[in-house]
Structure 1
């Protein structure tokens, strides 16, 4: 039988490796930014076009590469970071496997320009699908510039799997944020389709967070500091009152490398226990430093997951550190059993000298002497007893003996009703046809039996169809606010609001400005209270991020769903008779009364036969 196993050609092997390393344009951004950091750059510029599908370019002022290194950098498993297997457990760099550039070059057109400090000229290499097209000497600034064009040009199937530009750009920005937050001492800039998106100067960690997520973020941060033999923790957590519905602002960095860890995230959630509203998530930006020998970062192709030697200890320390910071800055209540509150010095006596109390003794005081009157500084005195005191009680005895109480004249405030429920003649038909149970369900009688409606879900369906109608007909009615409402969001959230601005205006929203980290609202749809506007926009941003819509998604439909979910009456809200009947009538006037916009049941029916069976 002939041999059937054979070695794959290099270009096929590179494309397979690219499937692990390069999933979308954001993967290219991550790899190129990390290479620039490893090169010792203190200023990095990222340029993208069409969300990275057409161009991803990273320019740095690092140490550059020699003529030979520039060529070898595109070979598989060619790296300057490790020499033997033991180096894998003592890593202090971002990249170490030597797969990134080789994988990227296999599926895109790559142009590399690089120059070292001591060299007068640099090198330029052009590679198309793993094939070197040219390698020339050029004049270029010190550092490296890598341009990745036409991603997945030779794998159309992979390119078709990419989402819309809006979604892909969101992933690119996420990767940019992760790298920029991990290295606040490096200046970063990002340009999208020719316009500047971010310009982050070198700064401290707090300022870097504020520069990325907006000026209002500064007042939301609580510092966290802990230094032990096992781990060193520094960074910030968000105050509970500013918790969001999304997990967007949650960042763990281990030895300056972004990671995802559900286990450590649970430690943070545990520290915030009892402080967060249901359905919200606390923000955190935490740097963890551990011994490189105690972690393994080579367990995932994207290197976003890390294996710790002792996760339980890290969990306990992290939870305690966050809890301590929340208590230290009066965010959470604390108990200190070693402190006696009675020993606290009042503020009014803080700087006063201590005086010895004086004791005054009345030497003429005689407890056996009958006092005739009070003397001294006493301001009150006893009134003298009247001489005719016995006249006050004259007639009481005769009145109590002669008076006879006639109980026939006693009247009750409300007469007791003793009608029997079994007397058919006394049964009265109820005045209304709907009832509310546990402030959650509405019960209504129908010919065949009984109708049980979930008030929150039913109202969602009603509002959804109303919003959808006003947006499609573009007849949204707006009520003007007396003063503009100023709302602050991160730049990523601002981009989502801009994308949905036209649809929001069709529902009745009026925006004075949407810029940087500010959204100014001057008008809202009729019936929406001003206090609900920020909640609606946050819920909308959360829904957009969680659903990750692609090119065939309807912004109008998602907006109607989100607003209906935010404004529908909640479970636990008591409803009057007319409100109950209004929901019932409106629900059955809908096109799809049986389900909510998210396909959940709005009501159930029970026939008389089903009820009869319950009593068998």
Structure 2
């Protein structure tokens, strides 16, 4: 019997490894940026075209590579970060497995130019599909420039699974944020399709966060600092009033490496207990420093999930540090039973002595004494002058004579309640309508009782109305007398720009500024001016990048988001007319049974069900 097990060729093995390392263009960006940081660069430039599908280039001023190292770097498991297995438990660098460049070169065209500081000339290498096409000597500045072109050119199936350029660009931006936030001592430049996207100079952690997420972030940050033998914690948390419905502004870094840790995230949420709404999440930028021997970062291919030796102690320290910061900066309410606020004195009066107030009294004053002087003789001082009541009969004279029947006089009084429960009925339809617990609209039908969830019903009504405005005709825009000015980061601005056409069809009139600000000149007729910022924040927080691959799904997502934001809330009291309009509009919809989130809108309680209760 012939042997069936064969050793795979290197190019096939590299393509298989690329499935773990390179999932999308953002994966390439992560690996190249981390390599540049490990090379000791203090200035890094990222250049992206067409969402990373056409070009991803990283240029740094690091140490560079020699001719031999440049060629060996594209071999599998070739690395300068570790020498033996024990080094895995004492890592201070980013990449260490030596598969990144080999995997990238297996599924793209790679151009490398590198030069060491003490070398006169550099090395240029061209690779396509793990095959070295050319190697030559070039004149190049110190450092490394690595360009990855035509990603997945030899794996069409993988390339077809990539999303739109805007979606891939947002994933690249996320990876860029994770690297740039933890290294404020390095300047970063990010260019997208020839336009500058980010320009981050060397600065402090707070300044880096503000430059990445916009100037409005500065007022939201509360510093956190804790130094123990187990862990050193520093960073910032966002004030509770700025909590968002998404987890977009949540960053954990352990030993200068971005990590995901649901356990530590729970510690942060527990520290905010009682300060957040049920459907919001706090923002934070926390940097942890632990002994490299107490953390295992090699449990996941992307190295974003880690394992700590003593997670319970870390949980307690992190939770206490955040609660201390919330109290220290007066973010959380604090009860102080010791200080007496009655003794608080303004600063301007701290050097002044107290004096007994003086009161002057006229002991000879008599309010009943008559003042007899000149023409005012006989007028009593201190008593009010009595007005004349002459002619009071004129107040009760009626036009056309005195009324013969006093029952015809209309007086203002309260309504007389003849029964404990009054029936409210509509004169035109004869339907009985009432609101139950300010949540359900109840109506009678032939087969029993109709119970309608007012929030879900209004969501369905608005959803179909918005979807029609987006796809069929453009909605009417309500122009604002005073435009609303808002500031956003580059990532949020890119989302709004990609949705601008949909927003215009809904009735928004938005002008984009080059400085990261927008000016809202018009809004849909159903949207109040003071809710513009809230609605746009909700759109940015809950917009699903993965599903918005074509114009129709994008329109459907936007209609769903706006209908959820503007629908009647549970607990809102409705008049009889509003209840009737809600019922009529609901059953005029194409799909009245389900809300935009596929939840039941109404149910009918049959007569048999009611009779069985007795």
Instruction: Confirm or deny a common fold (TM above 0.5).
Output: yes
Change (3 A) 1:522 1:47: same
The Cα of 1:514 is off from its aligned counterpart by 4.4
| Structure 1 equivalent of residue 104 of structure 2 | 104
Runs (5+) with no aligned partner, structure 1:
359-375, 384-412, 422-426
Task: Determine whether 1:258 maps to 2:265.
Answer: no
Q: Deviations over 1:77-127 (max 9, x none)?
A: 111111111111111111111111011111111111100011110001111
Segment of structure 1 superposing worse, 550-559 or 605-614: 550-559
Change (3 A) 1:156 1:513: closer
Partner secondary structure for residue 158 of structure 1: helix
Change (3 A) 1:429 1:11: closer
The Cα of 1:607 is off from its aligned counterpart by 2.1
The Cα of 1:541 is off from its aligned counterpart by 1.7
Alpha-carbon distance in 2 for matches of 1:71, 1:414: 94
Alpha-carbon distance in 2 for matches of 1:312, 1:447: 61
* TM-score where L is the length of structure 1: 0.87
The Cα of 1:532 is off from its aligned counterpart by 1.4
Q: Deviations over 1:196-219 (max 9, x none)?
A: 111111111111111111111111
Alpha-carbon distance in 2 for matches of 1:497, 1:17: 36
| Structure 2 equivalent of residue 197 of structure 1 | 197
| Structure 2 equivalent of residue 468 of structure 1 | 467
| Structure 1 equivalent of residue 281 of structure 2 | 281
Q: How does 1:136-147 map to 2 (within 5 A)?
A: 136-147=136-147
Alpha-carbon distance in 1 for matches of 2:450, 2:13: 63
Alpha-carbon distance in 2 for matches of 1:285, 1:536: 25
| Structure 1 equivalent of residue 456 of structure 2 | 457
The Cα of 1:592 is off from its aligned counterpart by 1.0
Q: Are 1:498 and 1:514, in contact at CA under 8 Å, matched by a contact in 2?
A: no
Q: Deviations over 1:485-523 (max 9, x none)?
A: 012222111111111112211221112334442121111
The Cα of 1:340 is off from its aligned counterpart by 3.6
| Structure 1 equivalent of residue 608 of structure 2 | 609
Change (3 A) 1:610 1:172: same
Q: Deviations over 1:340-372 (max 9, x none)?
A: 4369652358743789x99xxxxxxxxxxxxxx
Change (3 A) 1:256 1:348: closer
Q: Are 2:167 and 2:545, in contact at CA under 8 Å, matched by a contact in 1?
A: no
Alpha-carbon distance in 2 for matches of 1:592, 1:272: 40
Alpha-carbon distance in 2 for matches of 1:419, 1:349: 64
| Structure 2 equivalent of residue 517 of structure 1 | 516
| Structure 2 equivalent of residue 46 of structure 1 | 46
| Structure 2 equivalent of residue 4 of structure 1 | 4
Q: How does 1:86-101 map to 2 (within 5 A)?
A: 86-101=86-101
Alpha-carbon distance in 1 for matches of 2:472, 2:87: 64
The Cα of 1:535 is off from its aligned counterpart by 1.7
| Structure 2 equivalent of residue 347 of structure 1 | 346
The Cα of 1:608 is off from its aligned counterpart by 1.6
Change (3 A) 1:221 1:415: closer
Alpha-carbon distance in 1 for matches of 2:424, 2:77: 85
Alpha-carbon distance in 2 for matches of 1:17, 1:208: 35
| Structure 2 equivalent of residue 243 of structure 1 | 243
Q: Are 2:424 and 2:433, in contact at CA under 8 Å, matched by a contact in 1?
A: no
Q: How does 1:362-381 map to 2 (within 5 A)?
A: none
| Structure 2 equivalent of residue 17 of structure 1 | 17
Alpha-carbon distance in 1 for matches of 2:310, 2:61: 39
Q: Are 2:477 and 2:524, in contact at CA under 8 Å, matched by a contact in 1?
A: yes
Alpha-carbon distance in 2 for matches of 1:429, 1:126: 82
The Cα of 1:435 is off from its aligned counterpart by 1.1
The Cα of 1:613 is off from its aligned counterpart by 2.4
The Cα of 1:547 is off from its aligned counterpart by 5.0
Alpha-carbon distance in 2 for matches of 1:444, 1:144: 73
Q: Deviations over 1:156-197 (max 9, x none)?
A: 111111111111111000001110001001000011111111
Q: Are 2:167 and 2:546, in contact at CA under 8 Å, matched by a contact in 1?
A: no
Q: Deviations over 1:208-233 (max 9, x none)?
A: 11111111111111111111111111
| Structure 2 equivalent of residue 134 of structure 1 | 134
Change (3 A) 1:380 1:458: farther
The Cα of 1:419 is off from its aligned counterpart by 7.7
Change (3 A) 1:97 1:343: farther
| Structure 2 equivalent of residue 396 of structure 1 | none
Alpha-carbon distance in 1 for matches of 2:420, 2:534: 52
Runs (5+) with no aligned partner, structure 2:
367-412
Supply the RMSD in Å over aligned alpha carbons: 2.6
Alpha-carbon distance in 2 for matches of 1:471, 1:225: 48
Task: Determine whether 1:291 maps to 2:291.
Answer: yes
Q: Are 1:491 and 1:516, in contact at CA under 8 Å, matched by a contact in 2?
A: no
Segment of structure 1 superposing worse, 125-134 or 5-14: 5-14
Q: Deviations over 1:45-92 (max 9, x none)?
A: 001111011111000000100111111111111111111111111111
Q: Are 1:494 and 1:515, in contact at CA under 8 Å, matched by a contact in 2?
A: no
Alpha-carbon distance in 1 for matches of 2:528, 2:31: 47
Partner secondary structure for residue 41 of structure 1: coil
The Cα of 1:265 is off from its aligned counterpart by 0.7
| Structure 2 equivalent of residue 372 of structure 1 | none
Partner secondary structure for residue 554 of structure 1: helix
The Cα of 1:279 is off from its aligned counterpart by 1.5
Alpha-carbon distance in 1 for matches of 2:202, 2:341: 49
| Structure 2 equivalent of residue 66 of structure 1 | 66
Change (3 A) 1:609 1:531: same
* TM-score where L is the length of structure 2: 0.87
Q: How does 1:423-434 map to 2 (within 5 A)?
A: 433-434=432-433
Alpha-carbon distance in 2 for matches of 1:537, 1:419: 48
Q: Are 1:494 and 1:514, in contact at CA under 8 Å, matched by a contact in 2?
A: no
Q: Are 1:474 and 1:507, in contact at CA under 8 Å, matched by a contact in 2?
A: no
Partner secondary structure for residue 293 of structure 1: helix
Alpha-carbon distance in 1 for matches of 2:420, 2:29: 80
Q: How does 1:459-498 map to 2 (within 5 A)?
A: 459-498=458-497
The Cα of 1:551 is off from its aligned counterpart by 4.0
Q: How does 1:213-232 map to 2 (within 5 A)?
A: 213-232=213-232
Change (3 A) 1:122 1:335: same
| Structure 2 equivalent of residue 173 of structure 1 | 173
Alpha-carbon distance in 1 for matches of 2:415, 2:594: 48
Number of aligned residue pairs: give it.
563
Partner secondary structure for residue 148 of structure 2: strand
Change (3 A) 1:51 1:512: closer
| Structure 2 equivalent of residue 599 of structure 1 | 598
| Structure 2 equivalent of residue 187 of structure 1 | 187
Partner secondary structure for residue 585 of structure 1: helix
Alpha-carbon distance in 2 for matches of 1:74, 1:528: 56
| Structure 1 equivalent of residue 571 of structure 2 | 572
Alpha-carbon distance in 1 for matches of 2:363, 2:3: 119
Change (3 A) 1:541 1:415: closer
Partner secondary structure for residue 543 of structure 2: helix
Q: How does 1:555-570 map to 2 (within 5 A)?
A: 555-570=554-569
Q: How does 1:311-322 map to 2 (within 5 A)?
A: 311-322=311-322
